[in-house]
A and B are shown apart, each in its own frame.
Chain A
Amino acid sequence: MSQDELVAAARDGDQKAFEELVRQTHVATYTLAYRLTGNEEDARDVVQETYLRAWKAIRKFRGDAQFSTWLYRITANTASSMTQRRSRNRADSLDDQGSEVVDERTFANPEASSEASALHQRLSEAVAELPPKLRTIVVLKDVYDLPHEAIAEELGISVPAAKVRLHRARKRLRDVLFEERGGVARAV
């Protein structure tokens, strides 16, 4: 069954079809949840809550967006609610026990691969170190390419506010990744 057929079956109440959708999408959903929350435990909770909400709302899914995009929006909303609920601060790191970052792409050039890998690692850390409000915006807009309007709607903020946060997040990431050393910008 294709994903579209699974979605159609799930909309008709087919639990098995929905479970198959979960199997197909849970790594991508977990990845987004992890990038939004910055820790494994919260990411797991967000993923569970996301699929529970998605199952309840699947009948309302009109199919005018991709299923993955619809799921991303639910994930963003769920993560935002959870972040607001949980005020505790935790050390953020991408190398938490149990999670493994896997790059789907392959590189023919080992040097380029190494440089790109270093950049990704540094960038992942820099994103994870952003304050939650800035991190959420930059992940949803610059990593997942959701439109400002959708982001603002899911986070319960205005579009101008979303743009201001994105501006601040990019500035911070630029400062971290391209440190000024003796007046000369140093990449990564």
Chain B
Amino acid sequence: MLLVRCEDVALILPRAVDVGEPVDDAVQHHVNSCLTCQAELARYHKLLKALRTLRTQLVVPAPGTLAMTLAALQESQERRAIRSIVSGRRGAYIGAIGGAAVAAGAAAAAVALARRRAPRLAG
């Protein structure tokens, strides 16, 4: 079996401590028979356990933080609503202008056509 040193094991323990992480048989055999490496593995287990418990330690924000967040959210919602109204109005304006332009064009065309058809007075 390949000779494994404690120094080699120390390098891979931060990864090997994860459940389901594949570990070389030689390394596993070394850890099983080495108290130093077992102690090192126990430290990593203790570290991971302590890290998991950090999740239950809530950091309470300063007073007013929630109110600021809600205000920012409402402001964003209002801006979005205003943008929606403005873009709706813009659409209406563009539609109206477009309609007016089409109407003006049609009127001009009708006038031009009428002039062309109108009999010319003889001089």
> How many of A's residues come within 8 Å of B, CB to CB?
53
Q: Does B56 contact A (CB under 8 A)?
A: yes
> How many of B's residues come within 8 Å of A, CB to CB?
34
Known: A35-B54, A167-B15. A30 touches B59 (CB 8 A): yes
Q: Are B51 and A48 in contact (CB under 8 A)?
A: no
Q: Are A120 and B73 in contact (CB under 8 A)?
A: no
Q: Are B46 and A187 in contact (CB under 8 A)?
A: yes
Q: Are B54 and A123 in contact (CB under 8 A)?
A: yes
Stretch of A83-91, A140-148, A151-159 with 4 or more beta carbons under 8 angstroms from chain B: A140-148
Q: How far is the CA of A124 from the CA of B55 in the complex (A)?
A: 11
Q: Does B92 contact A (CB under 8 A)?
A: no
Q: How far is the CA of A22 from the CA of B56 in the complex (A)?
A: 19
Q: Does B111 contact A (CB under 8 A)?
A: no
Q: Are A127 and B54 in contact (CB under 8 A)?
A: yes
Nearest-Cβ distance from residue A122 to partner chain B, whole angstroms: 9
Nearest-Cβ distance from residue B106 to partner chain A, whole angstroms: 42
Q: Are A185 and B59 in contact (CB under 8 A)?
A: no
Q: Are B51 and A35 in contact (CB under 8 A)?
A: no
Q: Does A170 contact B (CB under 8 A)?
A: yes
User: Which residues, 44 to 98 on B, are CB-close (under 8 Å) to A?
Assistant: 44, 46-48, 50-63, 65-66, 68-70, 72-74, 76-77
The residue of chain B having its C-beta at the shortest distance from the C-beta of A50 within the complex is: B69
Across-interface contacts of B60 in A (CB, < 8 A): 27, 30, 99-102
Q: Are A143 and B54 in contact (CB under 8 A)?
A: yes
Nearest-Cβ distance from residue A22 to partner chain B, whole angstroms: 6
Nearest-Cβ distance from residue A85 to partner chain B, whole angstroms: 18
Across-interface contacts of B44 in A (CB, < 8 A): 170, 174
Q: Does A5 contact B (CB under 8 A)?
A: no
Q: Are A100 and B59 in contact (CB under 8 A)?
A: yes
Q: Are B59 and A99 in contact (CB under 8 A)?
A: yes
Nearest-Cβ distance from residue A180 to partner chain B, whole angstroms: 11
Q: Does A114 contact B (CB under 8 A)?
A: no
Q: Does A163 contact B (CB under 8 A)?
A: yes
Q: How far is the CA of A55 from the CA of B79 in the complex (A)?
A: 13
Nearest-Cβ distance from residue A83 to partner chain B, whole angstroms: 17
The residue of chain B having its C-beta at the shortest distance from the C-beta of A176 within the complex is: B47
Known: A120-B54, A174-B43. A31 touches B14 (CB 8 A): no
Of the candidates B40, B50, B62, B72, which one forms a contact with A123 in the assembled complex, judged by CB atoms under 8 Å apart?
B50
Which of B14, B43, B61 has the most chain A CB within a 10 Å cutoff? B61
Q: Does B39 contact A (CB under 8 A)?
A: yes
Residues of A that sit less than 8 Å from B by CB: 15, 18-19, 22-23, 26-28, 30-31, 34-35, 40, 43-44, 47-48, 51-52, 55, 94, 97-105, 116, 119-120, 123-124, 127, 138, 142-145, 163, 166-168, 170-171, 173-174, 177-178, 185, 187
A-B contact pairs, 12 of them (CB 8 A): A18-B73, A23-B70, A26-B69, A44-B65, A48-B69, A94-B59, A102-B57, A102-B60, A123-B50, A174-B14, A177-B43, A187-B46
